[in-house]
Amino acid sequence: MGVADRAEGNPERIVTEFCAAFDRHQAEALRPFFTDDIVYHNIPMDPAIGVDATIAFIEGFFGMCDRLAIEIVHMAVVGDVVLTERVDTFIVGTTVADLPVMGAFEMRDGKICAWRDYFDLAQITTMLSGDI
């Protein structure tokens, strides 16, 4: 996604391209999508506040799996808010684990300034412990 696309402020396109970028498995590649003061909150956990903390958190997720792919099942956009129903797929060796997720993205000036994901913490804990 180019700078012009973000400047246009198309929230649906930005979130779609952001989710697709997870296939690269490079947290730093996601940095341009965020405002400096982003708040990333996986609701069952403490939030990551600021772009550096958010990138570090994502790097932690990437470190736990060989690949993380995001499939958007449904999307709703109202103004600068994008709601996603997703399946986040974690691949560890030959194990493939799908995690249903509801996500809320708030946009400001063509970037994500707030991101909240809602999911079953017990499910991901079991998945990442190797008991998938």
**Given 46, 117, 120, 131, the catalytic residue:** 117
- According to DSSP, the β-strands at 81-92 and 95-108 are antiparallel
Residue 52 is among the residues annotated as catalytic for this protein: no
Whole-Å CA distances, 37 to 3, 22, 52, 53, 83: 19, 21, 9, 10, 20
**Given 23, 46, 88, 120, the catalytic residue:** 88
Instruction: Give yes or no for a contact between 22 and 72, defined as CB atoms under 8 angstroms apart.
Output: no
Residue 98 is among the residues annotated as catalytic for this protein: no
HSE, CB side, 13 Å, CA atoms: give it for residue 3.
Answer: 0
Q: Which residues are catalytic?
A: 88, 117
